[in-house]
Amino acid sequence: MKNMSVVFFVLLTFICRAQEYTQQKNEIQNLVKEVRQHIINKDTTAFKALFTKNSFNWTAVIKDKTQQKRLKNKTSNPSNLFTKKIQDFHLFLLDKGNQDELFKNVHIENDDVIGSVTCDYSFLLDNRVTNYGKEFWQLAKVNGQWKIISVIYSIELD
C-alpha cells in the first residue's frame, strides 16, 4: 500500500508538470501567431515588444543554391552569413508592400522558463514568396511573458 501511494504521487506530479508544460507550449504558439500578426499589420512597436531588449541577434545563413547565384552575379558582400541587432531587425516592417510570414511544421520544446521554436517559413511580399527556409528561435519567459532572445534562419531566395 505504501508503494502504491508513492507511485500515485509520482504520477500526479508528472501529470501536473505535463499540464504546466502544455500551457507554456500554448503560450509559445500564441507568440508565433503574434509575430505573424505584427508583420502583417506592420506594427513595429508591438513586434519589438516580443523580443528581449539587449540580447537579441538575428542571424541568417544563405543556402548554397542562392549563394552560388549571388557569387555568380558578383555580389558586393560575398559572405553567406549576416547578423543584425534588434535595433535594425524590425525595420524590414517599414518596407513597402503587404508582408506576411507563414510558419509550417512548428515544433516547440520548453520547460517552465526556456524554450525553442523550430519551423519552416516562407516570407511573402505582396502575396508572392520572396524567400523561405528554416528558423530556430531561442526563448525565455521574462516576467511572466515569453520573449524571443535570438533567431537563426536559412534563406533560399525564390
Q: pTM for the whole thing?
A: 0.82
Across the strands, what pairs with 116? Answer: 109, 138
Q: Cα separation of 51 and 140, whole Å?
A: 10
Q: Where are the beta strands (DSSP E) in 64-113?
A: 81-85, 99-110
Q: Are 47 and 93 in contact (CB under 8 A)?
A: yes
Q: What is the pLDDT along the chain (158 residues), one digit of tens a residue?
A: 555 554 444 443 444 445 456 889 999 999 999 999 999 999 988 998 999 887 778 899 999 999 999 899 888 888 999 888 777 777 788 888 999 999 999 999 998 899 999 999 999 999 999 999 999 999 999 999 999 999 999 999 97
